[in-house]
Amino acid sequence: MANEAALAAVEKCRADGFRVTAVIVDRAGAIKGVVRDDNTSPHTVDTARRKAFTSVAFRIPSSDFIQRSEANPGLRAIEGTIALGGGLPIRAGNEVIGAIGVGGAPSGDADSVCAQAGIEKIAGRL
């Protein structure tokens, strides 16, 4: 399911005209799936991974981490986190079981739309 979600996110972004990478992590932040579209910038794999890690670590969208870390700048020093939109928690009921991060679109908002498409692809089986 991790690869299905990552592929769905990449396909959504491609349909929107963006070349991205999508990374899925489990609840411990370990990588479970990666899909990197052709012609993506080299930094997108790491950025997508860090967005997913941030989202699962704090159990919030990585865009929410921006505000949280502004109030407590020390949070940005936690290894593996990043204060950019594009990471969303994956939930089974109320429990966060992982996260998806997307990197490469021109904004965190666009990355988040694609990440949501990835979650929606597998939502009925969570």
Mean pLDDT taken over the chain: 97
**Encoded tokens for 75:** 């949070």
Q: What is the pLDDT of residue 99?
A: 98
Q: Where are the beta strands (DSSP E) in 27-113?
A: 31-36, 87-92, 95-103
- pTM, to two decimals: 0.96
What is the tens place of the pLDDT at every residue in 85-101? 999 999 999 999 999 99
- CATH of segment(s) 2-125: 3.30.450.150
CA torsion angle 124 35 19 115 (round to 10): 30
CA separation for the pair 69, 111 (Å, rounded): 20
Q: What is the mean pLDDT of residues 90-117?
A: 97
What is the tens place of the pLDDT at every residue in 33-58? 999 999 999 999 999 999 999 999 99
Q: What is the pLDDT of residue 123?
A: 96
CA separation for the pair 126, 118 (Å, rounded): 13
